[in-house]
Structure 1
């Protein structure tokens, strides 16, 4: 497809006639591409730590990795329950700064006590982040009463760690993750729409939570690596949790920007524009 063709997007509803992505929409998509293809938590935490966080992560003991895995799974299971039971009925109105302040408070405990507090701290931080994600989704025109939207909020936790080894290398990082989760997301949304949320024991919900948790755990490991630095106490934990919250808020804003444009122009057209921007801005060719 030519560059000119990619710049001209036809809305999904043919009755609206041909239209083009406005300059504001193009800029919003451009910023979304940069955010989604270049997850920024590692860079933020590396600046805070004064050394590459990836290197620190490699020296975490095996016992710490097990704690992170269990805590990530538990936090995502709680987030899934929260998304499907309380988000539709509770308007998200606190604002990004309030959510960051609350996350920083929970992070202060983690920084002071260490990784042993993770099973308590992470579900709290994850719930606060999910509330903030829901607020962003609403601002982008999403209806939290829809199971698909509630699950899309939880999906954000899978988008913050970049590509995994099992993802299709020919796809963008963002669309590779969406493709990897597509079947589980669809099955879970269908199950909830048909039967409602009947507990976390449903196989489709267990599978989805596990798939998202495996990707979420990568970012949690980076977070813990920073908090494990010498001389990082309660203040350090608060700063790291603020960066953690900020990271997922940015990912959520980008994700729901893409979804908003997809509702207007259709998935295929938006993805074509996304890929053109990805190659132009980041030099990544499929």
Structure 2
């Protein structure tokens, strides 16, 4: 019996090490480069026209609703793709969106949001969860509440993994309303980077590449923790705490 317990402990520790690696990878070289090129979030958002800035949260909330319905629809028609395929598609979309500056970038934004959500759903499916289940839908949206690629992150955002909401009728509406303000900052940074025609194509493709890779890695951590909690029969908050300790060392 002791040998069985020991093996389970080693497997749990190894899985936590793997998930910590994914979390560190989410903030890898591409994110650091984007931070150096783009400057602070505030300076980027200041570059946006006032009407765009003032309407960004509402636009993000609408984009999230549209993305959720679009992602559900495409899952029925197109199977999940490998992470690199998702990244390639969103990179091409970002480049196309940046060709015409702000005008085309605004048109491309909902489509990119849908692709980000679809890639997060793919991460959930790879861990054995059904993206059509209500609680999994919740978690997919919640992944987008993680600090964006252009935010300084010391691992403190791991706290969002342990947040739980009651699955009531209007709960998804409340969740999207909670996530939209934070995600609007992330998407605002992307819009600002794409705001210069032609040059915006390079910026749009680059930011979409980094953003997609970031959220896919964060999703792997999120759903990997959920799977580990089930397989190892360890409370989810305890696993979050143990992963957080790894990120601080």
Which category describes the TM-score, using the shorter chain as reference length?
0.7 to 0.9
Pick closer, same or farther for the CA change 1:259–1:273 going to 2, 3 Å.
same
Answering whether residue 117 of structure 2 is matched by residue 130 of structure 1, we say yes
Q: Deviations over 1:166-214 (max 9, x none)?
A: xxxxx932214753xx33xx33xx43xxxxxxxxxxx433222111111
Deviation at residue 258 of structure 1 after TM alignment? 1.8
Aligned residues: 237
The 5-angstrom pairing of residues 67-106 of structure 1 reads 67-82=55-70, 85-86=72-73, 89=76, 92-106=79-93
Give 2:17's match in structure 1, choosing from 24, 27, 44: 27
Note the C-alpha offset of 1:124. 0.7
TM-score (norm 2): 0.79
Give the structure 1 partner of residue 245 of structure 2: 276
Q: Which sections of structure 1, spanning at least 5 residues, go unmatched?
A: 1-15, 165-170, 192-202, 281-286
Question: Quick check: 1:160–1:251 contact (8 Å CA) kept in 2?
Answer: no
Instruction: Give the structure 2 partner of residue 250 of structure 1.
Output: 217
Alpha-carbon separation, structure 2, partners of 1:66 and 1:110: 21
**1: distance between equivalents of 2:70 and 2:162?**
21
Asked if the contact 1:223/1:244 (under 8 Å) is kept, the reply is no
- CA RMSD, Structure 1 to Structure 2 (Å): 3.1
Listed one character per residue, the Cα deviations across residues 139-189 of structure 1 (whole Å, up to 9, x for unaligned) are: 122122321112211221111339x9xxxxxx932214753xx33xx33xx
Does residue 213 (structure 1) correspond to residue 180 (structure 2)? The answer is: yes
Q: CA deviation at 1:20?
A: 0.4
The whole-number CA distance in structure 2 between the counterparts of 1:112 and 1:88 is: 28
Gaps of 5+ in 2: none
User: How do residues 37-116 of structure 1 correspond to structure 2 at under 5 angstroms?
Assistant: 43-47=32-36, 49=37, 51-54=38-41, 56-60=43-47, 61-82=49-70, 85-86=72-73, 89=76, 92-116=79-103
Cα distance in 1 for residues equivalent to 2:87 and 2:23:
24
Give the deviation of 1:262 after TM superposition: 1.9
**TM-score, normalising length: structure 1:** 0.70
Q: Do 1:106 and 1:121's aligned partners in 2 also have CA atoms closer than 8 Å?
A: yes
